[in-house]
Amino acid sequence: MDSAEKNQLLGALEALLLVAAEPVPTAVLAQAISVTEAQADALLRELAAEYAGRHGGRIRGIEVREVGGGWRLYTNARYADIVAAHVVADESGKLSLPALETLAVIAYKQPVTRSQIASVRGVSVDSVVRTLQTRGLICEVGTTETNGAILYGTTPYFLEAMGINSLSELAPLAPYLPEASELDEVAKDMR
């Protein structure tokens, strides 16, 4: 392969690793960029070496590592204290009003899909759901039988953060929220 093609493939691998939620096996990455597994492995090792090297005398903040049966981007361990302090500061921040509204819908109507949440809130909730997942307040609890949509529910950490032992201790707001079947109808109308 020529250098332009190689650079294109390295960039594609880098992009795939950036969005990966967990280590991605070499075979999966090879298929994604239409090369053999051996070629993908060589490219990944080159990318890892590139990130491990100095760039203009600067030590990079990102590493490409082979772990857990696949490849993933990680922050450089050298900057762990700085990253940890930032994450802790961000995690301790208050939730935005949209996040609180979304969390309330999930807490009271769980298990619930994104489209059901959006139908209650009247806006897209994708980024808010990601924020709540990142903070460990909600998680995926299954999928719907009808269309395979992901169902969300609260976590044990949510109960801990709320200072309660079970969802039954939540204030009685649920009667003011529509039933799941009503949410599905509203979600269909929004499409």
Residue ranges per structural domain of the chain: 3-80, 97-190
CATH C-level class of 3-80: mainly alpha
Q: pLDDT digit string (tens) for 55-110?
A: 677 888 889 988 878 898 888 888 888 877 776 665 556 788 888 899 999 998 89
Once rounded to an integer, what is the mean pLDDT over residues 137-144? 92
Angle formed by the axes of helices 114-121 and 180-190, nearest 10°: 80
Domains 3-80 and 97-190 share a fold: yes
State the pairing for strand pair 150-154/58-59: unpaired
Predicted TM-score of the model (pTM): 0.49
CATH C-level class of 97-190: mainly alpha
Identify the pLDDT of residue 175.
55
Please give the Cα distance from 152 to 117 (Å, whole number). 10
Residue 41 pLDDT greater than 80, yes or no: yes
